[in-house]
Amino acid sequence: MEFKKSQELYNKGLVNLVGGVNSPVRAFASVGGNPLFIKKAKGSKITDVDGNSYVDLVLSYGPMILGHRHKKVQKAITKALKNGYSFGASTKNEIKLAKIVCDAFPGMDKVRFVNSGTEAVLSGIRLARAFTGKDKIIKFSGCYHGHQDALLVAAGSGLATLSLPGSKGVPEGAVKNTLIANYNDLESVKAHFEAHDDIAGVILEPVAGNMGVVTPQNDFLKELKKYLESKGALLIVDEVMTGFRSKFGGAQELFDVEADITCLGKVIGGGFPVGAYGARNEIMEMVAPLGGMYQAGTLSGNPIAMAGGIATLTELKKQNPYEKFNEIAQIIEVFLLESAKKYDVEITVNRFGSMINPFFTNKTVTNFEDAQTSDTKKFATFFWAMMHNGVFLPPSQFEAWFLSSALSEKDIQKIAKAIDKSMEAVSKM
């Protein structure tokens, strides 16, 4: 397999693009080697500029849940394009998408569309503060909520407990109201409430996908919600990744937990830049123009993105692929575990619905500290072997692999073969 044209483009890109990319993970920094440049994608497959075709388990980090260029989505956006691309005024489709989204989440009477997951979360945090009149927010180590200053707090334990900024350019003042707790550890949340009386709420990924896949254990979400209610604090559920992916009503439906504020992104735009935050009426009525919390967007509710979102969610509801996702993820888990056994490689596999990934560790992984015990060098070897065997994975140990409903039996066999070869490569390191 050759990556000559990707390499040429990467070298050209380095001149005017930072690191040759527009989002850091795309630079393949943690697996070494040059990043891929993509030419096109269709269904379950993605093709790079050198003509190499891969079964795509990145899926634009989640949005392409139906696979690429689903014909109904393509048709809807082509139709929308004919009427214009942006108006700065309202359209009927915004109401239609809002209804689909609000109907899926019982705790959501109203929704506001924005342009990314980052915007959805930063608005959701502002809303929690506006509603409670309190400033502090608890986040969990290893959960990623976009690149807003307040939540860009280092996720490693030492730095995390000190609440030091995780990025240059983030002033200490911007994170002084951010408290860090350990995922799956309610006691670490309680400790903050015992020390502070100005906590607006807790934000979390209901199933974490940004430290690899880490699932909530033993009613963690329910217990957390109950505790927050007793404290008058809000539960802000970041379903940017899990919304419409774990289940049509997101992880909240699966775990039977209702968020006070829900943040969405990825799938709801079907590949176009869309995010959203929503809540029950009394909370959403804080938002301008109804209330005093300001939030706005020139391109928000963009007509092409709305058309893409409506078509994607309508088709998703019809297909209802969630059971099938579970089955495929289980099959992939078995492939991973069996080949690891065959080649004597230590792994732990975590999965939830259409999200799955292996950690190269013998530890059970229930939080970020556990996830960090994974041997990332082994992951890098595994990643490149998967690429050479025709499977495109996220180029980081700490990202989930995503499934699309376009995966065929043949694709699954290809993934199985690639796993076998890649595990063998890891065993030879």
Catalytic residues: 144, 238, 266
Q: Are the beta carbons of 315 and 73 closer than 8 angstroms?
A: yes
Report the alpha-carbon distance of residue 105 to residue 107 in Å, rounded: 5
Closest residue by beta carbon to ligand PMP: 117
Stretch that binds ligand PMP, among 89-97, 113-121, 321-329, 404-412 (CB under 6 A): 113-121
Side chain identity at residue 424, one-letter code: E
Report the alpha-carbon distance of residue 212 to residue 424 in Å, rounded: 22
Binders of ligand PMP among 32-61, rule CB under 6 A? 61
Among 142, 212, 265, 321, interactor with ligand PMP by CB under 6 A: 265
Closest by CA to 147, choosing from 129, 164, 161, 167, is 167
Nearer to ligand PMP, 107 or 250 (CB): 250
- Composition of the chain by helix, strand, coil, percent to 5: 45, 15, 40
Binders of ligand PMP among 221-260, rule CB under 6 A? 238, 240-241
Report the alpha-carbon distance of residue 262 to residue 247 in Å, rounded: 15
Q: Kindly state whether residue 118 participates in binding ligand PMP, applying the rule CB under 6 A.
A: yes
Nearer to ligand PMP, 145 or 378 (CB): 145
Q: Are the beta carbons of 180 and 153 closer than 8 angstroms?
A: yes
Stretch that binds ligand PMP, among 46-54, 106-114, 115-123, 165-173 (CB under 6 A): 115-123
Stretch that binds ligand PMP, among 27-35, 111-119, 125-133, 276-284 (CB under 6 A): 111-119
Nearer to ligand PMP, 125 or 412 (CB): 125
Side chain identity at residue 362, one-letter code: N
Smallest separation (angstroms) from ligand PMP to the CB of 143:
7
Q: Per-residue x/- marks for ligand PMP, 308-337, CB under 6 A?
A: ------------------------------
330 three-state secondary structure: helix
Q: Are the beta carbons of 104 and 249 closer than 8 angstroms?
A: yes
Nearer to ligand PMP, 120 or 412 (CB): 120
Report the alpha-carbon distance of residue 352 to residue 421 in Å, rounded: 25
Supply φ then ψ for residue 295, to 5 degrees: -165, 135
Tokens (6 digits) for 329 = 């993820």
Among 144, 359, 360, 368, interactor with ligand PMP by CB under 6 A: 144
Cα 206 from chain centroid (whole Å): 11
Nearer to ligand PMP, 205 or 260 (CB): 205
Q: Per-residue x/- marks for ligand PMP, 196-225, CB under 6 A?
A: ---------x---xx---------------
Radius of gyration (Cα) for the chain, nearest Å?
A: 21
Smallest separation (angstroms) from ligand PMP to the CB of 116:
4
Among 111, 121, 203, 426, interactor with ligand PMP by CB under 6 A: 121
- How many chain residues bind ligand PMP (CB under 6 A)? 15
Whether omega before 289 lies within 30 degrees of 0, making that bond cis, reads yes
Q: How many CB atoms lie within 10 A of CB 147?
A: 17
| Per-residue CA distances from 177 to 3, 164, 171, 362 (Å) | 46, 11, 12, 36
Among 70, 112, 126, 145, interactor with ligand PMP by CB under 6 A: 145
426 three-state secondary structure: helix
Q: Kindly state whether residue 274 participates in binding ligand PMP, applying the rule CB under 6 A.
A: no
Among 20, 43, 146, 249, interactor with ligand PMP by CB under 6 A: 146
Nearer to ligand PMP, 58 or 332 (CB): 58
Report the alpha-carbon distance of residue 424 to residue 266 in Å, rounded: 34
Q: Per-residue x/- marks for ligand PMP, 354-393, CB under 6 A?
A: ----------------------------------------
Residues that bind ligand PMP (CB under 6 A): 61, 116-118, 121, 144-146, 205, 209-210, 238, 240-241, 265
